[in-house]
A and B are shown apart, each in its own frame.
Chain A
């Protein structure tokens, strides 16, 4: 086994911390992290509950490989019912927190109830206690991290916490760990704030000593690392250029949404690309990109560490932002940049710093601002609403100003914290929210790239590229190139990516390994570490089971096939220019086939036969 077989249950209402045995029958069916924690959530939480009530639970979970020597095995996830969507939420993060939780001897922490005052959870190996958090409530995630590290005087202590944005009620606040890694999407940090839980500190000294077959594990993880090192993407491209290398690719193929998805293609894309991040700037001759960085145990090291031009207006009088910190990833650069029409690399890096400092999702935030900008230009929002800010597409100063308002929920920042769905409803323009199930689209336009549209429409946590990254095949030719504007074969492609991703997310590995690894590289590592049958076929069945379990939770929460849809703009407003001119997403050609191969009814519900086959 490589599960610790121990769960920490924290009842915030009672103030108690208790240890209980992991349900090993469930572990064999759902693996760990995303899958296994979702199983606990579906068993213990009413799908119809208010996500921000004491009835909801929040689980921080590792996978069986988390903390081991497998490459990228530092992941952990936060699983809950999400306040942005009302659907099941699972946000995955790297850094070092997940491995440390494992070293302390815990597979997962289940938080239930609600504390009547701010608290944080302190874990030192087997010992866990809730501590008064009133002195850190109201502090940013960065300040909280500094204060708690100073308190315990242990630089190896790892901290996951929320910032001020979550406290202010922003519906897409995340949980920040190690200062700039984030369980970012769907508002999992907002749930944490609703429980008056500010932070989790963890120090573990027990290591990982329970690999099922150590010889086989050494062999399979070594082989996996060799594959990553020799692969051009994971061995060279990602460490050198990071995810931001996609900015020019996706713009080049006619797949980059811009201006609240009103347009496809952004003239300023090259100014905010990976190539631009490496160029020396005029003021000090240094590039935006300082270095790359790796999470625990990662042999890819795609992370970006950046600096902002000290003379830039956004940080001119703010020396606290003059150091190097977590830089722009592709999704953030797109949402904060192309979608708002802004190509100022320093401004975007500053806003990205704020996303980390106070814990909010840059994809949803950027998209929400973009929707607000479209409403401002249409007159639905005025300077009276924004407090005098001229919130037009491309306005850098306005963007920085509203970001600073969002952090503390002041003025128009409170409105922006609603996310685009509620914001657009509030201002009478619901059709301008670019969302699926209430969550904003990522950085690939489904008009120009058909399969990703089907993945967005069916993603269990709302629009999300990471649930089934068909871009790998449709644009990047990994593992094989498929035609981006074709719909043939896309239902099968989407299902395959969705099921495989559920396995990776549940093992404790990073999804970026799959640019080089297939399931035949991954399954042997799981099989060597864990007792039981972890053949390729069984792993894929586990992935399919997890997908269907999430679907059933959402179904019980009230979601139907009517929620598997794309925005009218993407189905009816053809791309106006560029290589994908004239395209719309043809979801109707793909969705029935997708339901069929999933073993779902035409109404999108897993049939009795499918549930029986997957033991659901």
Chain B
């Protein structure tokens, strides 16, 4: 299935080749869960501080069980702040 992954701020270095700015479309196996996807990029739990699926925050403890579906957009930030 097709999904998109977005790496922001200091995590942009993890973006696979072929991406644009901070986004890359991916083809992944049906039924892939969120945490295994993050693990593919060797990003630690500390680095993957804000993780959204389609704009909705997914807490660390829920990422292993979260099954991705077609057209999901996964967005990941390290700890950031501003104001």
- Seen from chain A, the residues whose Cβ lies within 8 Å of a Cβ on chain B are 231-233, 236-238, 240-246, 248-249, 252-254, 270, 274-276, 279, 302, 329-331, 465-466, 469, 471-472, 475-478, 481, 484, 511-512, 515, 578-580
Residues from chain A with a CB closer than 8 A to the CB of B81 are: 233, 237-238, 243, 245-246, 472, 476, 478, 512, 515
Query: Does A275 contact B10, Cβ atoms closer than 8 Å?
Result: no
Cβ-neighbour of A245 out of B9, B55, B56 (below 8 A): B9
Find the residue from A476, A481, A578 having the highest chain B CB count within 10 A. A476
Cβ-neighbour of B82 out of A245, A253, A579 (below 8 A): A245
Find the residue from B10, B21, B82 having the highest chain A CB count within 10 A. B82
Q: How far is the CA of A276 from the CA of B21 in the complex (A)?
A: 8
Query: Does A237 contact B10, Cβ atoms closer than 8 Å?
Result: yes
Query: Does A233 contact B80, Cβ atoms closer than 8 Å?
Result: yes
Cβ-neighbour of A244 out of B57, B77, B82 (below 8 A): B82
Chain B's nearest CB lies how many Å from the CB of A580? 8
Question: Is B28 on the interface with A (CB-CB < 8 A)?
Answer: no
Query: Does A246 contact B9, Cβ atoms closer than 8 Å?
Result: no
Question: Is B36 on the interface with A (CB-CB < 8 A)?
Answer: no
Residues from chain A with a CB closer than 8 A to the CB of B52 are: 252-253, 579
Residues from chain A with a CB closer than 8 A to the CB of B57 are: 253, 481, 484
Residues from chain A with a CB closer than 8 A to the CB of B55 are: 252-254, 578-580
Which residue of chain A has the shortest Cβ distance to B73 in the bound complex?
Answer: A252
Query: Does B12 contact A275, Cβ atoms closer than 8 Å?
Result: yes
Given contacts A245-B77, A253-B52, A275-B21, 20 further A-B contacts (CB under 8 A): A232-B79, A237-B78, A237-B79, A241-B9, A243-B83, A244-B82, A246-B81, A248-B75, A252-B55, A253-B55, A270-B21, A275-B9, A329-B82, A330-B82, A331-B83, A476-B79, A477-B49, A478-B79, A481-B57, A481-B59
Cβ-neighbour of A466 out of B49, B80, B83 (below 8 A): B83
20 contacts between A and B (CB under 8 A): A232-B46, A233-B81, A236-B10, A246-B83, A249-B8, A249-B77, A249-B80, A253-B55, A253-B57, A254-B55, A270-B22, A275-B21, A275-B22, A302-B82, A466-B83, A476-B79, A476-B80, A512-B83, A515-B81, A579-B52
Question: Is B71 on the interface with A (CB-CB < 8 A)?
Answer: no
Indicate the size class of the contact surface on chain B: 20 to 34
Q: How far is the CA of A512 from the CA of B81 in the complex (A)?
A: 9
Query: Does A241 contact B12, Cβ atoms closer than 8 Å?
Result: no
Chain B's nearest CB lies how many Å from the CB of A20? 36
Question: Is B50 on the interface with A (CB-CB < 8 A)?
Answer: yes
Residues from chain B with a CB closer than 8 A to the CB of A302 are: 82
Main SS of chain B's interface residues?
loop
Cβ-neighbour of B50 out of A238, A331, A476, A515 (below 8 A): A476
Residues from chain A with a CB closer than 8 A to the CB of B83 are: 243, 246, 330-331, 465-466, 469, 471, 511-512
Which residue of chain B has the shortest Cβ distance to A241 in the bound complex?
Answer: B9
Q: How far is the CA of A484 from the CA of B55 in the complex (A)?
A: 12
Q: How far is the CA of A274 from the CA of B10 in the complex (A)?
A: 11
Residues from chain B with a CB closer than 8 A to the CB of A241 are: 9-10, 80
Residues from chain B with a CB closer than 8 A to the CB of A471 are: 83
Residues from chain B with a CB closer than 8 A to the CB of A472 are: 81
Q: How far is the CA of A247 from the CA of B70 in the complex (A)?
A: 26
Residues from chain B with a CB closer than 8 A to the CB of A484 are: 57
Cβ-neighbour of B10 out of A240, A579, A580 (below 8 A): A240
Q: How far is the CA of A378 from the CA of B75 in the complex (A)?
A: 37
Query: Does B79 contact A240, Cβ atoms closer than 8 Å?
Result: no
Find the residue from A249, A275, A472, A475 having the highest chain B CB count within 10 A. A249
Find the residue from B57, B77, B80 having the highest chain A CB count within 10 A. B80
Q: How far is the CA of A469 from the CA of B81 in the complex (A)?
A: 11
Q: How far is the CA of A484 from the CA of B77 in the complex (A)?
A: 17
Find the residue from B9, B49, B83 having the highest chain A CB count within 10 A. B83
Which residue of chain A has the shortest Cβ distance to B82 in the bound complex?
Answer: A243
Chain A's nearest CB lies how many Å from the CB of B47? 8
From 6 to 29 in chain B, residues with beta carbon under 8 angstroms from any chain A beta carbon are 8-10, 12, 21-22
Query: Does B50 contact A237, Cβ atoms closer than 8 Å?
Result: no
Q: How far is the CA of A243 from the CA of B80 in the complex (A)?
A: 9
Q: How far is the CA of A237 from the CA of B77 in the complex (A)?
A: 10
Q: How far is the CA of A477 from the CA of B82 in the complex (A)?
A: 13
Query: Does B46 contact A249, Cβ atoms closer than 8 Å?
Result: no
Q: What 8 A-B pairs come out closest when comparing CB atoms?
A: A579-B55, A243-B82, A232-B79, A246-B82, A515-B81, A237-B80, A245-B80, A330-B82
Residues from chain B with a CB closer than 8 A to the CB of A578 are: 55
Which residue of chain B has the shortest Cβ distance to A243 in the bound complex?
Answer: B82
Which residue of chain A has the shortest Cβ distance to B46 in the bound complex?
Answer: A232
Q: How far is the CA of A329 from the CA of B82 in the complex (A)?
A: 9
Q: How far is the CA of A274 from the CA of B77 in the complex (A)?
A: 13
Chain A's nearest CB lies how many Å from the CB of B56? 5
Chain B's nearest CB lies how many Å from the CB of A248? 6
Chain A's nearest CB lies how many Å from the CB of B57? 7
Q: How far is the CA of A512 from the CA of B82 in the complex (A)?
A: 8
Chain B's nearest CB lies how many Å from the CB of A72? 13
Q: How far is the CA of A233 from the CA of B55 in the complex (A)?
A: 21
Residues from chain B with a CB closer than 8 A to the CB of A248 are: 8, 22, 75
Given A232-B49, A579-B56, the answer on whether A245 and B8 have CB atoms closer than 8 Å is yes
Q: How far is the CA of A51 from the CA of B34 in the complex (A)?
A: 56
Residues from chain B with a CB closer than 8 A to the CB of A279 are: 21
Given A237-B9, A275-B22, the answer on whether A477 and B46 have CB atoms closer than 8 Å is no
Q: How far is the CA of A240 from the CA of B77 in the complex (A)?
A: 14
Q: How far is the CA of A579 from the CA of B56 in the complex (A)?
A: 6
Chain B's nearest CB lies how many Å from the CB of A249? 6
Residues from chain B with a CB closer than 8 A to the CB of A242 are: 82
Chain A's nearest CB lies how many Å from the CB of B20? 10
Q: How far is the CA of A248 from the CA of B75 in the complex (A)?
A: 10
Residues from chain B with a CB closer than 8 A to the CB of A244 are: 82
Q: How far is the CA of A578 from the CA of B82 in the complex (A)?
A: 23
Chain B's nearest CB lies how many Å from the CB of A93? 14
Which residue of chain B has the shortest Cβ distance to A234 in the bound complex?
Answer: B81
Digitize B23-54: 1 where CB-to-A-CB distance is under 8 Å, 0 elsewhere. Answer: 00000000000000000000000100110101
Q: How far is the CA of A171 from the CA of B80 in the complex (A)?
A: 33
Chain B's nearest CB lies how many Å from the CB of A338? 14
